[in-house]
Amino acid sequence: MEIALQLLINTLIPAALFGLMASGFSVFLNVAKIVDLSQGALVLISGYSFFAALQHGATILIGILLSSVVTITVALLINGFIYERLRRNRKLSQVIAMIASAGVLLLLQNSFLAIFGSRTKVINLPIKNLEPIAFGDATITWWQIIIVTVSALAWIALYSFLKKTRVGTALRATADNAEVAEIVGISARVSRRNAMLIAATVCSIAGILASLEYNLDPNQGVDIAIKDFSRAVIGGVGSVPGAMLGSFVIQTAEELGGWFWNAAYKQVISLMLVFIFLIWKPTGILGKKKI
């Protein structure tokens, strides 16, 4: 029983966190039709910005605000000066966009390496030093409870925003058919910018949470981008609920495989799941094109 409870805890924390990241990834993918791998780097930008702010004496609140501003600014620059410029020049296709985003990801990742060095950076906050809560032999820290809570609240806020606001309606209209949306007065360019703004906001939140749970390593960007993509594919490309569902499916498979097989093969298990879905159910679990 205690083993099952610990497996549940080990599944819940990364599933909620990476599900939130994948949801932001899915929003931009559905609206802009771009597999934006650079969002893996945006998560790192948030984490490193938060780390740098604290190192220079900023309070936690100021660090969060600075991290969000930096992450959102970089994201909008990527969208405006790369994706939109390629689109205006009629040179944008899904393949070219993916190559461009991969190039941005590697450029930013190597920039982190040059600026912060290759050593893992650790952010220590008082809450991380509190005694964990024990359920027999199963344990969960207070910080991990905060991760799950913030991830859940952020996801609910994102989903509600997309469903209940005029901006969310415009995003869904653009995602369904950008040309028709333009005819009825919805700017597809503005919708794409707003979608990137939402994705960057999600990355800024998730980046801070991830940096405190998993520390900071400049090589994490590619791994995060793969996690985003795989969860979006399994859940249903472009579906926000699907991204979260896909995250729980992958994380459950990884934890069970790591426990009963070998923890070193967790990444292999997730990639195997992606290939299975791409072959037999390419639309994903929910199989919806809408956000």
pLDDT in tens, 20-40: 999 999 999 999 999 999 999
pLDDT at 225: 94
pLDDT score recorded for residue 266: 79
The per-residue pLDDT for 290 is: 46
pLDDT tens string 230-267 = 999 999 988 899 999 999 999 999 988 877 777 677 78
Domain 2-118+137-280 of CATH type 2.60.40 = no
Name the token pair of 104: 């941005």
For the chain, which ranges sit under pLDDT 50?
A: 290-291
Give exposure, 193-217, as e/b (b: 16+ Cβ within 10 Å). Answer: bbbbbbbbbbbbbbbbbbbbbeebb
Domain spans of the chain?
Answer: 2-118+137-280
Model pLDDT, residue 135: 81
